[in-house]
Structure 1
Amino acid sequence: MRLLALVTDAWGGRGGIAKVNRDFLAAFAEHPAVDEVVVLPRVIVEAPGPTPPGVDYRTEAAGGAAAFLRAFGAVLARGGYDGVVGGHLNLTPLAAVAAMRARAPWFFIVHGVDGWGPEHWPQSYGAGREAAVRWAVQRADAFVSVSDLTRQRFSQWMGVPAERGVVIPNSVDVSAFGVGPKRTDLLERYGLGGKTVVMTLARLSAAEQYKGIDETLEALPALVPEFPDLAYLVCGSGDDRERLEAKARALGLGDRVVFAGYVAEDEKADHYRLADAFSMPGRGEGFGIVYLEALACGVPVVASSADASREAVLNGEIGTIVDPDDPASVVDGLRTALRQPAGVPDRLDHFSAARFADRWRSVVDRVFLPA
């Protein structure tokens, strides 16, 4: 069986969606019924490195819109696909066309806030984009959502039956993380030696001011009397950094907040290990791999009741849930996390890489190999 997958990015991409794509594509390639997975990535930002056996990664597709369409035309002309995957809502119209051309079943993936409604889309998209997506998703055989919250919100918005959706939460490879000492050179780099550290890792995007960084900043002054050596490490880059830096100064936290900028994948675990608590009590997470990564490093986590991050901490079983609209709740949650001992929770295995791969292979069985 040959599959065609249209994705935003995967190998050579950054962030949570790229990781999910790499992981599910690798799982597909390992399915005993799958001979080849042809992948068209929309974007590649760094060297992609090797891909798993059975994955034909068409890097030429990542040269801009025209290059992607040329690559898409080439795979359509070749044909012979037994199933199609639309790796993002934006790619569903093309995925639908490919499936119709191949007379093959197909499904698409809803990653998060983009599936909650057009109000979460860039203004440049316009009504035409929504109409095209609506046309496509009504024709899909199934969809996969990273959380039940996202599945329900997408269903309500698009009028697609929720039972057509399969929830597959993000995963974490615990072997790539783990509890460990705080790296001395990083403590020196950020001036965090002897500090009690709260950490967030997220895009600092002006269009995504829902990550919970503002709420964490606003909670810190109330915690300083109890934790006089308190510091806040904000990892990530983006066009909202200047505003956040100004806010930290306005709150009198200028000497307690460190903006680390972009953190490379091979340094993420060591940055998590600098933290005594990980905080991201936002309003727009469709799931959030970073919560799992922090937990895999033994760092207590503060998540939110207002988005799907509560599912990432199993509704409070493996993390603290706070109400981002209640400042006292955020303060209390941070206090709880900072007082917790480090340690990887046993229930984190619910999000193991092995379970993730099994869940995705079951989608192949359900959609492409129906009984």
Structure 2
Amino acid sequence: MRILALATEAFGGFGGIAQSNRDLFRALSLSHDVVVLPRRSTQKTLTDRNIIQKKPRFNKVVYSLTALRTLRREGPFDLIFCGHLFMAPLALWLSCLGKVPFWLQIYGIEAWARPCGSLRAAAERAGLVTAISRYTRRKFLSWADFPSEKAKVLPCTYGEQFYPGAKSDALVSRYDLNGKKVLLTVGRISSSERYKGHGYVLEALVRLRNNYPNLIYLIVGDGDDRPRLERRAAELGVTGSVRFIGRVKDEELPEVCRLADVFVMPSTGEGFGIVFLEAAASGVPVIGGNADGSLDALAEGKIGRCVDPQNVAEIVEAIQESLQSPKPNPSAVQKFSRENFNHHVSSVIARRSAGDDEAISAGKIASRKKEGGQALRSQ
């Protein structure tokens, strides 16, 4: 099968959506050819066999014309993959022109509230919708007139480079962490994404310092909300216990995860949270919120502690318990392994709805018109 993939970011991008796309495209490339059209790419791109990533086109009009040209000149394609709800109208247009179904992937807050008419109409005509968590799926179905059996959960995975190990002496020295206990949060620090919970962890730090005077809060990530958090740390009197280290390279992130004694991100708007898996796979106790897609990543408490993300007392208690408990066995996170993820992706692509084993494969793509739209039945 040949797949034309529309994506905001993939290879060369930063953040959870870019990582999710890379993992998905690599899984698809095991059996299919994937042509990726990214909107953004901020570093050298490296792609795998059976994956071609085109030059990024940020301008909306130029991007749309590039997608049309790719469809016509490099087709035929068997499937259009749409990597963001906001790109659904373009995906639907290409789907109609190419007479092939399109698959919509949704992540988090972009799909939780009822969108404008054009986005809603396009999403409702997707043949398949996959959500990275049950929470996002439920939110989508609350506003979309869409068959629930065609809305699937496709959880994220994590890389094999995340595993337990000793703290890096070089990084301990770089960030002045010798003899320190380390709390860690990894995520974009954006004014539009204040749901990560950094502020609540800063408040928790105030209460924890009496019992843990050597406790350091290591914040990985950058964005326009960093100055506000730095001011908040100063207001709370914990500036000396906080390290803002900015964005780190992908290849360095596993060692940064192993610096942590506790990973904590009490979010209220997380679609899933790949970083929870990465920290847990590194043998680090994990704390997340109980009000969003984090519950799926935490396996409802089997992988990490679930707290009310806006209750500082609960966060404090969870951190204390995590610091005092033995490090967890990372085997609990194996359900999200790359092998299981690849199998799950294959199942979504290869099977129709439960009880119907007719494959959706090259040479057996069903493009049906039903209730005013094309349909692709999935597992």
TM-score (norm 2): 0.90
Which of 53, 73, 81 lines up with 2:49 in the alignment?
A: 53
Find the counterpart in structure 2 of residue 69 from structure 1: 64
Distance in 1 between the 2:90 and 2:351 partners? 22
Residues 28-177 of structure 1 mapped to structure 2, 5 A cutoff? 28-31=28-31, 34=32, 36-49=33-46, 51-59=47-55, 61-62=56-57, 64-78=59-73, 79-117=75-113, 130-173=116-159, 175-177=160-162
Distance in 2 between the 1:73 and 1:333 partners? 51
Find the counterpart in structure 1 of residue 181 from structure 2: 196
- 1:298 shift after superposition: 0.8
CA RMSD of the aligned region, Å? 1.6
Tell me if the contact between 2:270 and 2:294 (Cα under 8 Å) persists in the aligned partners: yes
Find the counterpart in structure 2 of residue 16 from structure 1: 16
Amino acid paired to 2:43: E
Which of 304, 328, 334 lines up with 1:319 in the alignment?
A: 304
- 1:80 shift after superposition: 1.3
Which segment drifts farther, 70-79 or 226-235?
70-79
Distance in 2 between the 1:72 and 1:282 partners? 35
Find the counterpart in structure 2 of residue 218 from structure 1: 203
Instruction: List runs of 5+ in structure 1 lacking aligned partners.
Output: 119-128
Find the counterpart in structure 1 of residue 344 from structure 2: 359
- 1:66 shift after superposition: 3.9
Distance in 2 between the 1:276 and 1:159 partners? 45
- 1:257 shift after superposition: 0.7
Tell me if the contact between 2:15 and 2:187 (Cα under 8 Å) persists in the aligned partners: no
Amino acid paired to 2:125: R
Amino acid paired to 1:311: D
TM-score (norm 1): 0.92
Instruction: List runs of 5+ in structure 2 lacking aligned partners.
Output: 353-359, 367-379
Describe the SS at the equivalent of 2:6. Answer: strand
Distance in 1 between the 2:89 and 2:145 partners? 17
Distance in 1 between the 2:164 and 2:292 partners? 27
Distance in 2 between the 1:63 and 1:288 partners? 26
- 1:343 shift after superposition: 4.1
Find the counterpart in structure 1 of residue 357 from structure 2: none
Amino acid paired to 1:45: T
Question: Which structure has more helix as a fraction of its residues?
Answer: 1
Amino acid paired to 1:199: L
Which segment drifts farther, 66-75 or 286-295?
66-75
Describe the SS at the equivalent of 1:30. Answer: coil
Describe the SS at the equivalent of 1:166. Answer: strand
- 1:310 shift after superposition: 1.5
Residue 256 of structure 1 pairs with residue 238 of structure 2 = no
Which segment drifts farther, 101-110 or 76-85?
76-85
